[in-house]
């Protein structure tokens, strides 16, 4: 394990620790929403049960005072969470820009290069780009819209399926859990992305001509097949770090007087792993094709575009690869 590896591992661990602290804060705030709507939800479920088949008519729900109250409450509390999350994430983005500025210089110096800090205007520019992206998510508007759809869908299912008083509460809780998961995933992405972008800006500011992809291969379990395939690839400094949401891979500088920091590429590293690791990373079908020689790891890298227009990468599907799904034989067959 090289000194650069240790620096990247430490930086990634610090980012993950920050992500986890922020996730705990957001989850705690989010949990209050469930408590605040429980009474209204339970009362509405009782009304639905009492109404019987009539409640299956969407018009019945739309005209019900408790249903309207539930939607208003959901909208209000979700808008509050959206504003709270936006404020929290904006502060975290600014902190990650600062960390990226420091770590970018440290990486260059560790490889024997000279590194100057970004000037204040460049730092403000990195923060502004990150926060423009956060503003575009408009969480105070989009979270209430998604949550309202969760409530509508849950109420409709309960009315149609006759799930009883506890049914709507369970469906709403399940739906809100999905919304929280997406919010936490966004939080994770919007902390590591400013860090990566700033690190690359520091490299460019100091005349670094290329950078290398450093995947989270130290993690147990290992990351996705696409990220492992990208591990060690060298890119011109002008190439953006195009990856999938939630990715924790990071860039490292490549200096002219030193070999690239990642000496063993992802494909070679993966070939050295045992079948259990390969199965966990690729899944049954892709692992079977990989182990048979029909699938090269590098073939998993596909190009995509994020909703905001930024270039992205994703793992290619079996269908796109033209490979068949491998089914597990039935026992005794």
**pLDDT score of 176:** 80
Cis before 221? omega within 30: yes
Give the list of residues 6+ apart from residue 4 with CB closer than 8 angstroms, or none.
Answer: 107, 110, 111, 252, 261
**pLDDT score of 273:** 94
**pLDDT score of 38:** 66
pLDDT band at residue 233 under the 50/70/90 scheme: very high
Q: Residue written as tokens 């780009």?
A: 129
Q: Helix or strand or coil: residue 214?
A: strand
**pLDDT score of 331:** 52
CA pair distance 151, 306, nearest whole angstrom:
28
**pLDDT score of 333:** 44
**pLDDT score of 2:** 87
Cis before 192? omega within 30: no
Q: Are 169 and 41 in contact (CB under 8 A)?
A: yes
Mean pLDDT of the chain: 88
Of 132, 129, 135, residue with least CA distance to 200 = 129
pLDDT tens for residues 149-188?
887 777 666 655 555 555 666 777 777 888 888 899 899 9
Under DSSP, the state recorded for 173 is: H
CA R_g for the chain: 24
pLDDT surpassing 90 at residue 63: no
CA pair distance 197, 23, nearest whole angstrom:
22
**pLDDT score of 152:** 77
pTM: 0.88
**pLDDT score of 177:** 83
Residue of 327 and 273 predicted with greater confidence: 273
**pLDDT score of 79:** 92
| DSSP states of 49-106 | HHHGGGGGSHHHHHT-HHHHHHHHHHHHHHHHHHHHHHHHHHHHHHHHHHHHHHHHHH
Under DSSP, the state recorded for 220 is: S
Of 34, 43, 20, residue with least CA distance to 78 = 34
If you average pLDDT over residues 86-101, what whole number do you get? 96
């Amino acid at each position: 394990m090289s000194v650069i590896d240790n620096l990247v591992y430490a930086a990634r661990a610090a980012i993950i620790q920050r992500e986890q602290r922020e996730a705990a804060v957001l989850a705690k705030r989010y949990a209050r929403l469930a408590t605040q709507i429980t009474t209204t939800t339970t009362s509405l479920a009782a009304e639905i049960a009492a109404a019987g088949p009539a409640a299956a008519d969407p018009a019945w729900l739309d005209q019900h005072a408790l249903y309207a109250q539930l939607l208003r409450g959901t909208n209000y509390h979700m808008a509050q969470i959206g504003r709270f999350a936006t404020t929290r994430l904006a502060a975290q983005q600014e902190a990650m820009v600062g960390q990226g500025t420091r770590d970018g210089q440290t990486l260059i110096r560790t490889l024997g290069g000279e590194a100057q800090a970004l000037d204040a205007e460049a730092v403000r520019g990195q923060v502004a780009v990150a926060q423009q992206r956060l503003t575009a998510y408009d969480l105070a508007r989009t979270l209430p819209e998604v949550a309202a759809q969760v409530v509508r869908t849950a109420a409709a299912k309960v009315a149609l399926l006759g799930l009883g008083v506890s049914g709507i509460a369970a469906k709403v809780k399940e739906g809100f859990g999905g919304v929280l998961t997406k919010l936490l995933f966004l939080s994770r992405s919007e902390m590591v992305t400013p860090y990566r972008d700033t690190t690359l800006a520091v490299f460019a500011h100091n005349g670094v001509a290329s950078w290398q992809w450093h995947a989270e291969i130290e993690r147990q379990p290992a990351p996705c097949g696409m990220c492992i395939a990208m591990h060690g690839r060298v890119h011109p400094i002008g190439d953006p770090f195009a990856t999938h949401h939630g990715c924790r891979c990071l860039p490292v500088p490549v200096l002219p007087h030193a070999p690239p920091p990642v000496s063993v590429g992802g494909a070679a590293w993966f070939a050295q792993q045992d079948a259990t690791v390969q199965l966990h990373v690729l899944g049954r079908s892709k692992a079977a094709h990989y182990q048979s020689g029909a699938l090269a790891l590098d073939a998993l890298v596909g190009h995509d575009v994020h909703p905001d227009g930024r270039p992205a990468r994703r793992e290619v599907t079996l269908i796109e690869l033209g490979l068949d799904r491998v089914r597990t034989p039935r026992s005794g067959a």
